[in-house]
Structure 1
Amino acid sequence: MNKNSMYYLNHIASALMVVMISAKVPAGHFKILYFASAASYTSKDYDVLPAPLPIAELFRTLEERYAGMESKVLGSCLVTVNLVYVDMPENADESEFVIKDGDEVAIIPPVSSG
């Protein structure tokens, strides 16, 4: 990994910590953090969504809120739940993982190694 990539990842980690600390989540909800292209597309740094939500339904839920987001942004992003990367299943039957009340989800766009 080159210096630019490391800087970018450190910047995301710092921003993630600031958003995690600053935004309160109401009971029965989880926080979803947006970075780079995801933040630009939504015009937000974060959203608060109702929990529980199966991970397999996350992209569909975001697509309903932000038309076109799945193909333009989410298809190339990674997802973390509570700072742990998770695999996004192809359909709802492939995963039993559920985002729970109080969880923090992050949508992380690709890191350029230019």
Structure 2
Amino acid sequence: MTPKPPKGHFNILYFASAGSYTSKNVEALPAPLPLRKLFSTLEERYQGIRASVLDHSLVTINLAYADVPDDKAPEDKDEIVIQEGDEVAIIPPVSSG
């Protein structure tokens, strides 16, 4: 079971290569955070993760798939903002043989 994030934070779950890259399965990040800033925030913490993992991954927020907009895009009144208590998952492609 995933621990509840601290007050003012959301949980981010790392699967497969994302977990290998960060050496974590879960971590709490400050909320709120516009979804368009998620990848740049993670890149600041884990240099190189964007090109190696994130650009090829799916993202869910509270089990619903979400398209991550370009972080250079102008703010949109309808943009998704990750809120306190949300659960975000980074799901890289998985191959089997």
Considering the TM-score relative to the shorter chain, is it more than 0.5? yes
Instruction: Write 1 or 2 for the structure with the bigger share of strand.
Output: 2
Q: Tell me by how many angstroms 1:113 deviates.
A: 5.7
- How does 1:1-114 map onto structure 2 within 5 Å? 18-19=1-2, 23-91=3-71, 92-93=73-74, 95=76, 96-112=79-95, 114=97
Amino acid at match of 2:35: I
Instruction: Write 1 or 2 for the structure with the bigger share of helix.
Output: 1
Q: Tell me by how many angstroms 1:71 deviates.
A: 0.5
Deviations 1:61-88 (A, max 9, x none): 0000000000111010000000000001
Distance 2:43 2:52 in 1: 10
Distance 1:30 1:39 in 2: 17
Q: Which runs of 5+ in 2 are unaligned?
A: none
Larger radius of gyration: 1
TM-score computed with the length of structure 1 as normaliser: 0.77
Distance 1:25 1:90 in 2: 26
Distance 1:42 1:101 in 2: 22
Q: Which runs of 5+ in 1 are unaligned?
A: 1-17
Distance 1:87 1:94, change over 3 A: farther
Across the aligned residues of Structure 1 and Structure 2, the Cα RMSD in angstroms comes to: 1.4
Give yes or no for contact 2:56–2:93 (8 Å, CA) kept in 1: yes
TM-score computed with the length of structure 2 as normaliser: 0.90
Q: Tell me by how many angstroms 1:94 deviates.
A: 5.9
Task: Tell me the percent identity.
Answer: 64
